[in-house]
Every structure is written in structure tokens, then in C-alpha cells.
Structure 1
Amino acid sequence: MPNLDLVGADVLHPDGLTDAPLSFADGLIADTPVGRAVDLSGYIVLPGIVDVHGDGFERHLAQRRGAMKQMDEGLIACEAELAANGITTAVLAQFASWEGGMRGPEFAGQVFEAIRDVKDRLVTDLRPQLRLEIHLLDLYDTLPARLAEWDVGYVVFNDHLPHDRLAAGKLPRSLNGQALKARRSPEKHHAYMLELHGQRDQVPAALDALCPRLAEAGVRMGSHDDATAEGRAMWRARGVQIAEFPETLEAAEAAFHAGDAVLMGSPNVVRGGSHKGNISAIDVIAMGYCRAIASDYHYPSPRRAALMLADAGVCDLAQAWALISSGPAAVLGLEDRGTLAPGKRADFVVLDRDSRRVAATFAGGRVSYMSGEIAERFLA
């Protein structure tokens, strides 16, 4: 593990950029020079990106149905993409859903076991998140024990059943494609969805019983796609204090004023709006409601979003970068990272000052990515 003094670069701290050297030793940021100096003139050093929610790893695990048999190889490939995009801590959001296939409960268990078994061999800090479809009531009884076995400390509750169409007697959109992924006939898949829809009145009481059990086990909990203030209040009453990707300003505002952490998607920022027509993440950020922005489904987007926010004057660079570093670290309870203060983990990303592309990424003081001319400086 190298002990180095990075000199000549612009270094981002909570109060802005400084040209003071940045030193790190034994995997931690140091407050005094520690070793060989590396000239990083022409570069910017920023805290490593903490991705609080992303499912872009799915394509690494199975590019086509059944194509990936060794998940550890897929996770290793995923880490390479994460590191190349400046991400030093990544929450991998895996479904346990009625959709089946790569989003089915059995596949979720395989993913969590693979993350548990491979993460100590990687440089990037990989952390699992379970996205639980709330109508899968048969999973509730054993869920706390399963989470402990899988080392999953973060659960987000989802409801993606098309209740309106099911209640109206209409076939769900994309039924045939979903059935194919789940390896069911369209008729059986539709019948299964109707069965779960029919249990909807049992779900609130089941959640009321489950959430305290998860809280007692130290599991962080979030809700997904909140649409109303009332809905967010119901989740909060259960101890669910993270609001992922609220769909409306009403829900985001209610979460913020109640002290809940509001997370938005960085692709929403980069696109200039939601691809589903929901509230603009830029608006939520400009109002000061957003605690963190996540990759969602696209790992290059957190860096791009933070830089775009700063360029557009929505907030300054330190505030924008905090949305992908110290903000998500706080949401996850990771007090050892998120800024470049002495004693913190040496998690940082080096950007080319002109192109602002990622030149190098370090996690815990170890290189996870390095490319191009900057490598010559470290090897000199």
C-alpha cells in the first residue's frame, strides 16, 4: 500500500478547492507529508464517489439469459467499470421480485452470496442492497435471518405491480416479455400477478410487523418512488427514513421536512429530467431537499451530474460533489469516508483538469483504476 504526497493538484474540500498537497499513508488521509511526492499538476483530486444505489451491475452478471455462470467474474468486471468512473463505494441494488429471472428471489440470493464471497478480493467497497417487492409476503418470516446470512444491511421497499390495470381487468403491459424472463407462460405470470394483487390489503399489516424486526437488526430501510406526502408518512411511521427517487415534489418536500434522506438519480440530472416524467432531480436539488444522488442505472452519471450542477450554477463544486460523496456516505452511516479530511479513508478520484475525465481512482489508499499519462507520474 503506497504512502504518497500528491502535490500540484487542485484538491476539493468542503469549503472549496485548494492547492495544498494531499498526503495518505496506510490507507488513510494524513495531515503531514508521508513519503514520495507525485506531481499532479493539471489534475483535480476529489473525494471518492459513494454510489448509494445502482443496478448497472446486472449486465455484468448476465449479459444474456443464462450466459453468466460465474458471478464472481461478473462482479470483478463490474468493479472495473465502477473504478473507471471514480466510484470507490458502491451499493449494488438487487431485486427480489415477482418479475422472476434476474430479479427473482432465488437469483437475489445467488447475487448476495457472490458479493459476500468476492468483496474482500476487490479494491472497491461493494455493499448489497435488497429491493424487496412488498407483495412477496411469503418472504417476510425468514427475511431478517436471510439478510444476516447474506450480510445485507440495506433494504428498499418497492411496489411495481400494475395495480390499475390488474384491477381494471386489463393485461399488464410487457406481459409476454416479463413472462419469458420469469420462465412462465404469459397465462401463469398473469395469474401470479393477480394473486399478489389480491393480497394487497394484507401488505400494510405485514410491513408494520416486518419493519421493526429489520430495524432491531440494524438494517437501513428506504422506500422507492414515493408519490404522496401521506405515503411517505406511512413509511416514516414504520422507521423507513430514506426516500429513494420520490416521484413528486410533494413527496420529496414531505420527506425533507420530516428529516428523511431524499435520494435522486444522477441520470435524471444529466438528462435534465426524469425519463418517466417524474419530478426533475435538478429542481429537488435546487430547493435543497436532496441529500444524495445515485448512479441508478448508469455508472458514469454521478460524476457528470455533479460537474453539470456546478457548471450550471445550481450549486458550487463542493456542494455538488458532496451529493455523490459525503452526502451518500452519511446516508449509509459511513463516517470514515466522503471527504478528504485527515483520518478518513484514502478514497479519492483524480480528474484531468481540462477534460475532467477520470484519470485515476484510489480506494482505501489502493489503486483501483489508472489510465494514460498520469500513470507515468506515479511510476516515475
Structure 2
Amino acid sequence: MTGIAMNFTGAEVLWNGKMQARDFGIGSGSIMDSAQDARGVDLRGWRVLPGIVDLHGDGFERHVAARRGGVPDMGDGIVAFEAELAANGITTAVMAQFYSWEGGLRSPQAAERLVATWQAEAPALATDLRLQLRLETHFLEAFADAEELIDRAGITYVGLNDHLPHDRLAAGRTPPRLTGTALKSGRSPQAHLALMQQLHGQADAVPAALDGLCKRLSGKGIMLASHDDATAQARHAYRARGVRIAEFPETLAAATEARVGGDGIVLGAPNVVRGASHAGKASARELIAQGLCDALASDYHYPALRKAVWALVDYGILPFDAAWALVSEGPARLLGLEDRGVIAPGKRADLVIVDPASGRVGATIAAGRLTYLTGPLAARFLA
């Protein structure tokens, strides 16, 4: 599908990274100076920005499984998920799917179901939906099956997580919220605790297993990210394995080590909006002010991406063009997507049209196809 052909006039446009008054067109799914024989749309009073690229989000979970065991067919959930993305100006989204001992929606079985649904539904959608597999580092018994799924599904982005409460387990204490997490996993609290203790007990085997896994995945050109690095040493160790993206570093030391080593740094947009981490970790605003961020990600809340941009501007941390680059150009670069992230001739026609006063989205266009249109803009597009 080649999308619509239109010429936009009168808007303020983030053109090639700089805000300016600029008329331009789209056609055949691409941006151009002017489209021949195309409908004109007057966008005076609106701002046109590159479509948002979200390189890590798990908010899709509430669409594909609104209640535990209550939605056996994920297909409608994926369609509803795309609608939420479009309403928030997101034109490329990476679904961060767990492959974890935690069970439930984070289990290997759920990952298989999501992959099958993604393969069936994503090709018909305008929004570019991609997958990241989030593998638990101590789930050694699942490494081979996870690699097989990565190869079979053509997944190009893998994150490495460790959600075991090691301090509690080492001290012989019961982990917090054990009953609730056990219920989500489909296990009894006793069985869930026993599994965590078993996985914690094989910690000595994890470094060598990760060395081999990362070497194999890197050799296939798969991008690797570590999740929640707490120390500079942890980030350094991951870099030595070829893991060059640091997702949500928890401390200034870890983020600084990532920058010194030339690694990509991804921070959470909800952290920016809140002004602090919900878990008491490093403030994303403070890290951004020190130049320690290449991209923002939705994490668990898709509206936070666009709202984070306005927060960065309102608090004087970044000018608007630099703030928007953290949700468009920056994540596109980390994902190796050179065809998007900026508005320039020849780039993919991924656009979001926003009200500059409120930051609300009036229209979203992905690869030249309208995915969201509302309010006063509808009359201008349909006139």
C-alpha cells in the first residue's frame, strides 16, 4: 500500500531537525517537497513532527490479555493496541515481550502466541510493529528455545533482564508480593518461591551462559540491550559481551559508563513525566540534563512519550527540537532505521500533527497512511 498523496501548507514543521514554516508533500509513502496532483491540506495553527519511534514498550499487554485467561485470541488486542499507538503519534513501536520464568503473559508459551499473532496481524497494519524478546538471564534452561524462536520469527532485538529478588532470596526472606506474582504465573506461592530459589542458586553459571548467548546472537546481527543496569561494572560487563544498548540504567554511574563506552542509552518517558523513577532509581530528567540519553521509550505508558517532550521543554531541560529528537530521530538511530525519525525528502512519511498549545495529537500518518484523525483536523483533511 502506497498511502495518500497530499500537500501540507501553513504549518510549523520540524523539518530536518529544525522548527520552521515549511510547505511539503507526501506521496507513495514518502516525504517530498511537493506532491503532484495531490490534495492540499491547510495546517495553519498546527505543528507537524516526525512520527514517534517507541523502541521499548510493554503496555500492549493490557490489550492482548485484559484479564488473566480472559482473552484467548490476541488478534483483536493487537488491532486495538495499534489504535492506542496512533492516538499518541507513534508510527513505529517495538513490543517488548518477556520470555521469562515469571509465567503468565511473560511465559515462553505467551511469547509463542504473541509471535504468531504478530506475524498474522502486523503486515496489514500501517503502524510498523516490531518485537523485542526480553529474556531472563537466570532462565538458563530456556535459552535454547528462546534462540530457536528468535531465529524462526526473525526477531532482531533482544533484551536481557533479571527480575529475581536476589537480596531477599540470599537472606532467606520471602520476596515481596509473592502470592500475587504466583497467581499470575499459574503456580502456588510455594512452587513459585521454589523456582526462584532454584534460579537464584545457579547464579554462578549465568556469566558463561550469557557470554555464549550474546556471542551467538551478535554473530547473527541481532541488537542486544541490557535492562536496569545498576552499576558501572554491570554496564561494562555487558558491553564486553557486545550488548551496546543500556535500557533504563538505574544510576548515574551506570549511565555515565554507557556514555563513556559509546553505548546507546534509553530512558523511560514515564520517569520524565513523573519527575522521578517510580522505583526510586535515577531521575530521567537529571540524566537528560547531563546529556545521558539517546532515546526515550514508553516503557508501560504510551501517552508518556509525547508528554515527556513537553515536560522537558516546560522545565527548561531541552529546547523543543532536541526533546522531540529523543522520541523520533534518537530511537530510530538506535534501531538502525535510517528511513525515518526526521522529516526530510525521501524519508518514510511518518508524521504526527499536534496542537502546539496542548500537545494533543490531531492526526497521525504512518508510511503515508492515515492511522488517526480527529477533531477540527478532520474537516481540513476531508474538505
TM-score band (shorter)? over 0.9
Q: Which moved more, 1:148-157 or 1:238-247?
A: 148-157
Structure 1 residue 144 displacement after superposition? 2.7
Taking the aligned partners of 2:251 and 2:221, their CA distance within structure 1 comes to 29
Q: What residue number does 2:85 align with?
A: 82
Which residue type is aligned with residue 11 of structure 2?
Answer: A
Select the residue among 148, 152, 157 that pairs with 2:155.
152
Alignment of 1:227-238 (within 5 A): 227-238=230-241
Taking the aligned partners of 1:213 and 1:280, their CA distance within structure 2 comes to 34
Deviations 1:216-239 (A, max 9, x none): 112110000001111101000000
Q: Are the counterparts in 2 of residues 134 and 159 from structure 1 also a CA contact under 8 Å?
A: yes
Q: What residue number does 1:285 align with?
A: 288
Q: Are the counterparts in 1 of residues 306 and 359 from structure 2 also a CA contact under 8 Å?
A: no
- Give the SS at the match of 2:144: coil
Structure 1 residue 15 displacement after superposition? 4.5
Taking the aligned partners of 2:247 and 2:241, their CA distance within structure 1 comes to 16
Structure 1 residue 311 displacement after superposition? 2.4
Q: What residue number does 2:244 align with?
A: 241
Distance 1:99 1:321, change over 3 A: same
Select the residue among 168, 173, 184 that pairs with 2:171.
168
Q: Which moved more, 1:142-151 or 1:285-294?
A: 142-151
Q: Are the counterparts in 1 of residues 30 and 349 from structure 2 also a CA contact under 8 Å?
A: yes
Structure 1 residue 139 displacement after superposition? 1.7
Taking the aligned partners of 1:251 and 1:235, their CA distance within structure 2 comes to 11
Q: What residue number does 2:320 align with?
A: 317
Q: What residue number does 1:108 align with?
A: 111
Deviations 1:82-126 (A, max 9, x none): 000000000110111111111111111111221122101111110
Select the residue among 257, 263, 268 that pairs with 2:266.
263
**Aligned-residue RMSD, C-alpha:** 1.0
Alignment of 1:8-47 (within 5 A): 8-34=10-36, 35-47=38-50
Taking the aligned partners of 1:245 and 1:355, their CA distance within structure 2 comes to 28
Q: What residue number does 2:371 align with?
A: 368
Superposition misfits of 4+ residues, deviation over 6 angstroms: none
Identify unmatched segments of 5+ residues in structure 1.
Answer: none
- The answer as to 2:140 corresponding to 1:137 is yes
Which residue type is aligned with residue 24 of structure 1?
Answer: I
Taking the aligned partners of 1:150 and 1:252, their CA distance within structure 2 comes to 32
Q: Are the counterparts in 1 of residues 133 and 158 from structure 2 also a CA contact under 8 Å?
A: yes
Identify unmatched segments of 5+ residues in structure 2.
Answer: none
Taking the aligned partners of 1:177 and 1:310, their CA distance within structure 2 comes to 39
Q: Are the counterparts in 1 of residues 51 and 364 from structure 2 also a CA contact under 8 Å?
A: yes
Distance 1:330 1:15, change over 3 A: closer
What is the TM-score with the length of structure 1 in the denominator? 0.98
Which residue type is aligned with residue 90 of structure 1?
Answer: A
Q: What residue number does 1:7 align with?
A: 9
Identity of aligned residues (%): 54
Q: What residue number does 2:306 align with?
A: 303
When the two structures are aligned, how many residues end up with a matched partner? Answer: 380
Select the residue among 328, 334, 337 that pairs with 1:331.
334
Q: Are the counterparts in 2 of residues 29 and 344 from structure 1 also a CA contact under 8 Å?
A: yes
Taking the aligned partners of 2:166 and 2:356, their CA distance within structure 1 comes to 49
Alignment of 1:220-231 (within 5 A): 220-231=223-234
Select the residue among 279, 292, 297 that pairs with 1:294.
297
Taking the aligned partners of 1:173 and 1:149, their CA distance within structure 2 comes to 36
Structure 1 residue 315 displacement after superposition? 1.1
- Give the SS at the match of 1:173: coil
Structure 1 residue 14 displacement after superposition? 4.3
Taking the aligned partners of 2:279 and 2:335, their CA distance within structure 1 comes to 27
